[in-house]
Chains A and B, each alone.
Chain A
């Protein structure tokens, strides 16, 4: 459990417009650990996540995956990305492909599997997210929750070292959130390494081994999930109470 999968050191990102979104943060993710990053909008959570698989190039700092620097221009960015799964807020399923093909695409064209191998593998992960009955459906005909589960399956199929969740439930209706959270929770139980950016405080508390609270591009507070009950900093207290209000409304 102590093996460090992901190590982020002094990460900084300044956008071309001059916005200093991330101002130097460091944390690490151990194998099998699930980490939730919470924080108000614009605090730099998504930027951190996207820097990790280099969808955004960091301005400064190092990111190491299994002790290898990955934001080095010489590193093979495609290989790195194939080791880091990503689940998006708006699902981003490939709408011209059926559910099964959505999952086999990466296996066949990145991993170089044959069609049969890939399908076998895909069926396995689809079973894990409970989507076996819709393998021939097009994404357009799925509900939001189903889409997100397929997206999770797509990330899982690549057997990544770590999966990044970018607000996986934000685009979902409240009644659909449950199934997705259930799926993520079961992944955590299976020992998947995960970094989850979320607004679901309760879910973060349930699933995450560790919670990082970000504010204005910096880590304001981090610790075990118990910090939700007993926040140390005023900023986190304020944030939690505002979230409570929102939920009450």
Chain B
């Protein structure tokens, strides 16, 4: 190893405590660093200097594009073309609260019955004071130039032919806002009230609003054309109305908006004051504490805007000339002006120029970094899952336990289990239910184990389980009976019967056959479609696998002679040759409908087969050297199989790795995500677990306040909405990688001399202990380079997660291309991002390899 002093920087020369602090603080910094896009925007609202600290309550922009702002103490500010701002003489000293303008009139209303109006032709404001001193909350003008004001306790007043007339509203709620569009009018009020009129405000009727707003104060309402209406409550809810049918107009039915940008909550959590509908989908909202927000999609995503001033002032009204140009007014003499709908300006450029590389990078880097983060997440979890599963599989594959050892070691126990415990359990569970059966099984099992321990503890010789040594004859008989049971089951009645291996296989096969996937001949090639049968009936497939296992054991037991040796099949080879001929000749010769007259009967088919085998014999005699005599005589023809040598754990692990290594990863991704919906299932389980955790946490008293948010965080970040493809991606990557890592690790384990295991066992470690402490540490060191390969592969393979809509790097690249059409730059940047990640991983692994290298072991270059 290189001397520490020779290094430019040595990690180990830093004290351990400092190292921990360093790493922790780095992680903390990474996590708390805000999204650095934030500082790059500035408000597009510019402050108008009004020389006043008065509260402005209402604003309106007239037909000429001039702005009028009304405030406390009757103050009127006039903004010519919103450029020149001057104070205007006011005929009233009352606070003005609302304003409205149409083609002829500009009108404002306020406290104590004060209503003023001005005609475009006239220079002066005229006061039309109401006799009863009510406080106007809102004012509007209908298509007959009649002025309407609304006030508390359901009062609606109309200024008609120079007289104030009270209009019957039939409600007693406080009314907050009135708006007219032609002859149609809408009024909003407290307790979720919305009134509508179709006849220029002559009569008003109650419109349907959602249950959820019945306690809320609908503070402002507005509509656009005939097909969209919006309203807001002072609690921050947004209501939306659309045209229900061609014959009706907007405003009859109101829906509470689920706001996507607030995690589908129905409230913004802001006390809103005013709404301005700019188009069918574009709305501006204002509220307390300087809140102004724009939604371009009808309230799905509400985007709060920056303001050039800070403070706790309330924005009281919005007045827009077009969808882009307009003003907002608020407390303390605030008037703000915008020319692009208040949308925050990205600093440094006015219009994005995506053909400029620096601006392109600026625009896309957030997307790509987001994608990189998402990639890292699935990669890290995928590597962990793959590695640990890989080790487990590798250990299964190298486990030395053969079927023979398993059976032989516990033969007496197995026999007693089958001939005593299982029947008792089954009878018990049929009589008293499943639970009783399980308890009986465990009870008898434990009782017998304890008995056995005491009986055999002080015996000098092992005299068999429970001291019962069964004579060889009887033992063989019992084993054979056991085999028969496994094969056939217990053929009692439906209720008491147990299915044996053959029955399972047969029923599974007949389930498959019910699909009728083959055509009508018994040619093998015609049955090809049956390879898809497992997907058609997974249940039958698993039954078949289970049945094959049982049949295998059953045949072994049934034919056992008590010695568990290898088996010889006499004439095995000739039988195989003839079967092969049968298949070949069937393929060549048979080409007719099996239901045809020659072969409709069993004998017909049987006859055909005998005939084909006969031809096979002749052909064999002709073709094979030595001919018929050599395949029917002599010891060479025996096939020797060693069925007891099977290692069950290895078999299971091999099935797993074979499956995952012989199917494409892309297909696995789609099968796992869309086919199995694994992500959905895990998410559901996860949510169940977290809700259980919440229950537990609620017993913890004051600690609950600490733990609940943590559970909530985990729940949100792992199982929250939109995490399905995330979970699926982790599992697809991890399960696939495990199959490959398993083989790598197995190779490394095989490379460790067997003496190491013996040495470990000889000092008294268990098999697993030796594995853990001696074999695996050496094996993992050997396989770091190939494992590194595997992990790099995993990072690169993670790009396939884009097909299941997981927004990792590649998918973000696709999205960016879709927006910007800059193909070369985008994919180049994606490639660089992958390279950086993978290369750092490779460097890390190289370093790890160097760190963990054992001096004097293996040819590794260097010292």
Give chain A's interface residues, CB within 8 Å of chain B: 53, 55, 62, 69, 72-74, 78-79, 81-86, 88, 90, 92-96, 105-106, 109-110, 138-142, 154-155, 158
Contact = CB atoms under 8 A, between A and B. Distances in A.
B718 to A, nearest CB: 35
A30 B765 CA distance: 26
B761 interface: yes
A49 B8 CA distance: 54
Given A81-B761, A142-B856, 5 more contacts: A78-B766, A86-B758, A88-B762, A94-B759, A96-B781
B758 A62 contact: no
Given A73-B462, A74-B456, A140 B854 contact: yes
Given A92-B756, A140-B855, A105 B460 contact: no
Given A72-B461, A74-B457, A86 B762 contact: yes
Contact of B778 (A53, A83, A96, A106): A96
A140 B274 CA distance: 81
Residue among A73, A84, A86, A109 with the highest chain B CB neighbour number at 10 A: A109
A92 B764 contact: no
B176 to A, nearest CB: 76
B764 A158 contact: yes
How many interface residues does chain B have, given as a range? 20 to 34
B857 interface: yes
Contacts of A93: 759
Contact of A110 (B763, B777, B854): B763
B777 A96 contact: yes
A58 to B, nearest CB: 12
B409 interface: yes
Most buried by A among B409, B457, B762: B762
A74 B462 contact: yes
A109 B765 CA distance: 7
Interface string B776-793: 011001000000000000
B764 A106 contact: yes
B460 A69 contact: yes
Contacts, number: 92
A81 B755 contact: no
Contacts of A154: 763
B763 A96 contact: no
A69 B765 contact: no
Given A62-B461, A96-B777, A140 B856 contact: yes
A53 B762 CA distance: 7
A160 B459 CA distance: 24
Contact of A88 (B456, B462, B759, B778): B759
B764 A79 contact: yes
A90 B756 contact: no
B765 A106 contact: yes
Nearest to B404: A16
B769 interface: yes
Contacts of A83: 764
B625 to A, nearest CB: 32
A155 B461 CA distance: 29
B640 interface: no
Contacts of A141: 855-856
19 contacts: A55-B758, A72-B456, A72-B462, A78-B761, A83-B764, A86-B762, A90-B753, A92-B758, A93-B759, A96-B777, A96-B778, A96-B781, A96-B854, A105-B763, A138-B855, A139-B856, A140-B856, A141-B856, A158-B763
Contact of B461 (A69, A106, A138): A69
Given A55-B761, A96-B781, A90 B854 contact: no
B753 A81 contact: no
Contacts of A142: 856
A158 B762 CA distance: 11
Contacts of B22: none
A58 B761 CA distance: 17
B822 to A, nearest CB: 52
A142 B856 CA distance: 9
A154 B856 CA distance: 20
Interface string B25-45: 000000000000000000000
Contacts of B470: none
A88 B761 CA distance: 12
Given A96-B777, A96-B778, A90 B755 contact: yes
Nearest to A151: B759
Given A62-B460, A88-B758, A140-B856, A94 B764 contact: no
Contacts of B778: 94-96
Given A62-B461, A95-B854, A140-B854, A81 B759 contact: no
Nearest to B755: A92
